[in-house]
Amino acid sequence: MNNTRHNINLTMQNVKPKKQLGQHFLTSQQIAKDIVDALTTNGNAIEIGPGMGVLSRYLFQRPELNMRLIEVDGESVDYLKANYPEKADTVVFGDFLRLDADSFFGEGENFSVIGNFPYNISSQIFFRILEYKDRVPMIVGMLQREVAQRFSSGPGTRDYGILSVFLQAYYDIEYLFTVHEDVFNPPPKVKSGVIRLTRNSVTKLDCDEALFRRVVKATFGQRRKTIWNGLKSLGVNLIALQDDPVMKKRPEQLSVADFVNLTNKVASQIPRQG
Ligand code: SAH
């Protein structure tokens, strides 16, 4: 007789990894501990994609943390609630990319973020976190190694990109360590890297921040081209800036401060309305 269906919430069978959800379960307890130890904040924290709870287990051991776990896989949610019944209320079934943080904690409260992120949506996760940047003092995350390096690498390196600039504008970023594929079930095809982002003291960039975002996106959208060519898509007449030396550079050569300067130059060429 097959009674599995009735037992599903009572047994503690392992979750079957689902590729489309980016599920690669970490099997090393030591690495899980190291990742959790890297989170040095107290108070509210969200774990994205807890899966079978390899990190959650250590997070739950820290009474100074007020955890919420958000997981899009129903089977993992059932597993966590069955295995951590006293923490069942902290496990939320949902998509982090659609999260309203105010439904988790009090309105406007700060929260840190931790997770072994689903690699297929790690950029989207960071864009979403940036929307909450003034409330997120620290992020500790495991990502595909190349992506982790990209976020933490400075101007002049091949990996430097749009998210590097946006994240480095507001966070100090440390590459902590590399994780080999054989400590996951199933092993991913790539190596992983753990990074820590600590909010810096910048509350507002010294420029129009919306224009800053457009300038960064426009220039990296044409990564192989010069700044001059990349900025054409903005539709602003920049002819007066044509001989400025920055126009001959490429986006990956510019630091956050250089982009701020560039944004102010572009702004000076936009006719005032009214
Ligand atoms: N933290 C676990 C699992 C990592 S795999 C471990 O280290 O073993 C990534 C996890 O993210 C999976 O459990 C997957 O179901 C979950 N996930 C994928 N997309 C998600 C989303 N949009 N929101 C929340 N969780 C998501």
At 78-89, the pLDDT tens digits run 999 999 999 999
Peptide bond before 186: cis, by omega within 30 degrees of 0? yes
Q: Is 185 helix (H, G, I), strand (E, B) or coil?
A: strand
Cα dihedral 100, 50, 127, 148 in deg (nearest 10): 160
Q: Which of 245, 239, 246 is nearest to 215 (CA)?
A: 246
Going by alpha carbons, the residue nearest to atom 3 of ligand 1 is 51
Ligand 1 and 55: CB distance under 6 A: yes
The model's pTM: 0.92
Mind listing the pLDDT tens digit for each residue in 208-245? 999 999 999 999 997 789 999 999 999 999 999 999 99
Q: Is the pLDDT of residue 179 over 60?
A: yes
Residue located nearest, by CA, to atom 6 of ligand 1: 25
Residues 237-274 have pLDDT tens digits of: 999 999 999 999 999 999 999 999 999 999 999 987 75
CB 192 near ligand 1, within 6 Å = no
Does residue 31 line the site of ligand 1, with CB under 6 A? no
Q: In whole angstroms, what separates CA 24 from the centre of its chain?
A: 17
